């Protein structure tokens, strides 16, 4: 063991101990918080500690965390809204720059040794140390997620990451917000050493201090990416890549970072000076404010999954189509034992093949892939029903077929088993009365594609057992999804809003607006894809089922068009043709079809039914409040995150209109 501490001193959020070798061991352990974040008070105490270390000059300094399986998740996002005055934000950023520079300038060896999340401001602080050690564990992640909050690293991270990794690799990490595993981070130079056991962190840190270890410079080819001509070329390529995912008027942060890199990417100090100019303006802007709101909404959805201690080990999925197969594969990828049932093995085999592809993409390591394949078993006979903790029905959207299936299940169910339907729109009370206890059935409504869509609607009726709803929310959280409790009205929340929106798009298309113009207008507004492409992606057969449930014959001509397309085998992306022809997973568009159309006016017309239905859902109490509605529409339909959610957007637009009126009157 390292030499025992001979003296110690505590602050509210930090402990400083000195061992017999003269090494100072600094521990961050934020008071009354589950995770460490760099709030104003935490940083103020660190300033005092650095002053003491500057005066006392220990043999070396080691920074660790007092939180189990967690280092520093970043700056305290809750404090970002304390002011929107750019001048105050600039002062705050420059104070942190000064503090972190003092850490970097300490005249003795410094080492940071951590496990768990080392993100954002936590990573920026770690980069000030001479040597960085991480525990090579599944729960350790390293990265800069700031772009997801509409900013980029503002505590010196842009300059220091380029110094240790080179321009190209550092920019890729910052622009994507990607979180790295320890070995990948070590390969890039972001950390210097990994250890395999928690107990080794202190030994490794002590050894690094005594050996006065310092990070090596990045390889020559990485350093070359910061040279002027290369930098200019790379900046142009980066802008092209970012434009494919985000418009500059919607998401300015990545473009501001690229501009800074092009201007000063060969100088750590210049990059850091630009942070103090650019990041405060971004923090005060609408995009960052709204994305911070989305972050809070995401946290509120996570809370929905903490209402119960329910934990599943075994899941049984009935229906091996695209949805059922992908739900089964996703659960297996998250460590659960899964049995997948369908009428014949030939229906299950394609799902197992898709599952193999998912495991390769998600799990990477051969042993993890092999283990996931073993956890997912074909089960034509349905033997998994008797052992399952969760049963999910995911057959085709037909009321009578689902009722028959559930009536055949009842004799084999365990009392604790959570029974759920993945119906897209059928109300629970039209299915649950086949059970002796109708209150036990809930809806677990996943969205397509299951691996990419983060939301699951937890559907309940007026008689549903609330404990089952809480268990369903916990299960969704267990498998890495956001749980949104919704009442069992036709279409629930997401499909109820999407149906009139997509029907409106079909009507506008029928009246002569090119599908490409409709999709481009929606994308310009900020939707991840247009309504026509979305209909093809979800599947026109699924869309027809939703329209039948929600509107029936009232859907009129739009229903007839869908029915005709489905009967002719045009199901959308999965069949290769719907409204679009699809090649290699991409819709084939007429690149000029949108020309001559006012896309902003089209977007207003296109989105109106979406907003109207959101208001109606709130009035009907489909969800508890406007915040949960906004969360559901962002994570369930991809509603433009930079706008903060549909209800927030409408409220902001109304406030702007009112302010404009007052200005005119004055």
Catalytic annotation, residues: 424, 445, 457, 495
Tell me the sheet residues that pair with 195. Answer: 135
Residue pair 46/16 in contact (Cβ under 8 Å)? The answer is: no
Give the integer Cα–Cα distance in Å for 331 and 384: 15
Provide the 3-class DSSP secondary structure of residue 389: coil
Q: Show the 3-state SS of 415-472.
A: CCCEEEECCCCCCHHHCHHHCCCHHHEEEEECCCCCCCCCEEEEEECCCCCHHHHHHH
Q: How far is CA 369 from CA 132, 332, 338, 469, in A?
A: 30, 10, 15, 32
Q: Could you count the other beta carbons within 10 Å of the beta carbon of residue 662? A: 9
Torsion, Cα 70 73 75 81, to 10 degrees, reads -120
Provide the 3-class DSSP secondary structure of residue 320: coil
Give the integer Cα–Cα distance in Å for 255 and 243: 9
Residue pair 239/258 in contact (Cβ under 8 Å)? The answer is: yes
Name the residue with tokens 């240790």: 164
N- to C-terminal Cα separation, the chain: 74
DSSP states along 368-380: HHHHHHHHEEE-T
DSSP states along 495-544: HHHHHHHHHHHHHHHHTT--HHHHHHHHHHHT-SS-HHHHHHHH-HHHHH
Give the integer Cα–Cα distance in Å for 231 and 608: 44
Provide the 3-class DSSP secondary structure of residue 387: helix
Name the residue with tokens 């911070």: 292
Name the residue with tokens 């929107």: 84
CA quadruple 120, 125, 130, 135: dihedral positive or negative? negative
Residue pair 115/82 in contact (Cβ under 8 Å)? The answer is: no
- Sheet with 141-143: list strands edge to edge: 117-119, 141-143, 179-180
b/e burial code for range 627-661 (CB count within 10 A of at least 16 → b): bbbbbbbbbbbbbbbbbbbbbbbeebeeeeeeeee
């Amino acid at each position: 063991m390292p030499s025992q501490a001979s003296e110690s001193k505590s602050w509210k959020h930090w402990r400083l101990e000195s061992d017999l070798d003269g090494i100072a061991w600094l521990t961050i352990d934020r008071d009354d918080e589950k995770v460490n974040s760099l709030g104003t008070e935490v940083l103020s105490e660190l300033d005092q500690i650095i002053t003491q270390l500057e005066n006392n000059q220990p043999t070396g300094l080691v920074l660790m965390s007092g939180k189990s399986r967690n280092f520093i998740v970043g700056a305290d996002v809750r404090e970002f809204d304390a002011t929107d005055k750019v001048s105050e934000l600039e002062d705050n950023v420059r104070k942190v720059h000064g503090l972190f520079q003092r850490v970097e300038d300490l005249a003795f060896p410094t080492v940071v040794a951590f496990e768990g999340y080392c993100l954002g401001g936590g990573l920026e602080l770690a980069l000030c140390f001479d040597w960085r050690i991480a525990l090579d564990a599944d729960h350790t992640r390293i990265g800069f997620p700031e772009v997801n909050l509409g900013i980029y690293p503002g505590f010196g991270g842009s300059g220091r990451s380029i110094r240790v990794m080179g321009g190209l690799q550092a920019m890729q990490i910052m622009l994507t917000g990607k979180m790295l595993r320890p070995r990948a981070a070590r390969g890039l130079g972001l950390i210097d050493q990994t250890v395999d056991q928690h107990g080794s962190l202190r030994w490794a840190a002590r050894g690094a201090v005594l050996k006065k270890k310092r990070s090596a410079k990045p390889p020559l080819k990485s350093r070359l990416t910061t040279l002027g001509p290369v930098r200019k070329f790379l900046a142009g390529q980066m802008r092209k890549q970012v434009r494919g995912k985000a418009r500059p008027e919607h998401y300015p942060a990545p473009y501001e970072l690229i501009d800074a890199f092009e201007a000063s990417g060969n100088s750590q100090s210049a990059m850091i000076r630009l942070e103090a100019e650019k990041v405060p303006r971004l923090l005060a802007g609408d995009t960052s404010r709204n994305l911070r709101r989305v972050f809070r909404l995401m946290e509120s959805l996570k809370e929905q999954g903490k209402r119960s201690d329910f934990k599943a080990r075994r899941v049984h999925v009935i229906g091996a189509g695209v949805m059922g197969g992908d739900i089964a594969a996703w659960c297996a990828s998250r460590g659960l034992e899964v049995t997948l049932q369908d009428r014949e093995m030939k229906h299950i085999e394609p799902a197992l093949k898709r599952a193999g592809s998912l495991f390769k993409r998600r799990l990477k390591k051969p042993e993890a892939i092999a283990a996931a394949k073993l956890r997912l078993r074909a089960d034509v006979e349905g033997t998994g029903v008797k052992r399952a903790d969760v049963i999910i029905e995911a057959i085709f959207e037909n009321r009578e077929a689902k009722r028959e299936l559930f009536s055949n299940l009842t004799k084999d169910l365990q009392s604790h088993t959570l029974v759920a339907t993945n119906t897209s729109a059928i109300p629970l009370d039209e299915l649950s009365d086949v059970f002796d206890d109708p209150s036990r059935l809930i809806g677990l409504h996943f969205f397509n594609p299951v691996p990419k869509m983060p939301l699951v609607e937890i559907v309940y009726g007026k008689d549903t057992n609330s404990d089952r709803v809480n268990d369903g929310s916990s299960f969704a959280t267990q498998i890495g999804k956001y749980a949104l409790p919704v009442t069992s009205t036709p279409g629930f929340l997401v499909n109820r809003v999407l149906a009139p929106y997509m029907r409106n798009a079909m009507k506008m298309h029928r009246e002569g607006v090119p599908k490409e113009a409709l999709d481009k207008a929606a994308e310009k507004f900020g939707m991840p894809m247009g309504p026509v492409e979305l209909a093809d992606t979800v599947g026109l057969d699924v869309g027809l089922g939703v329209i039948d449930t929600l509107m029936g014959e009232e859907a009129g001509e739009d229903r007839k068009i869908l029915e005709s397309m489905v009967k002719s085998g045009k199901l959308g992306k999965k069949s290769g043709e719907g409204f679009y022809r699809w090649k290699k997973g991409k819709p084939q568009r007429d690149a000029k079809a949108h020309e001559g159309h006012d896309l902003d006016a089209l977007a207003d017309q296109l989105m109106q039914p979406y907003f109207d239905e959101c208001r109606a859902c709130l009035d009907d109490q489909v969800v508890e409040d406007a915040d949960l509605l906004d969360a559901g529409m962002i994570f369930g339909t991809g509603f433009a995150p930079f706008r903060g959610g549909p209800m927030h957007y409408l409220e902001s637009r109304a406030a702007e209109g009112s302010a404009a009126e007052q200005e005119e009157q004055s």
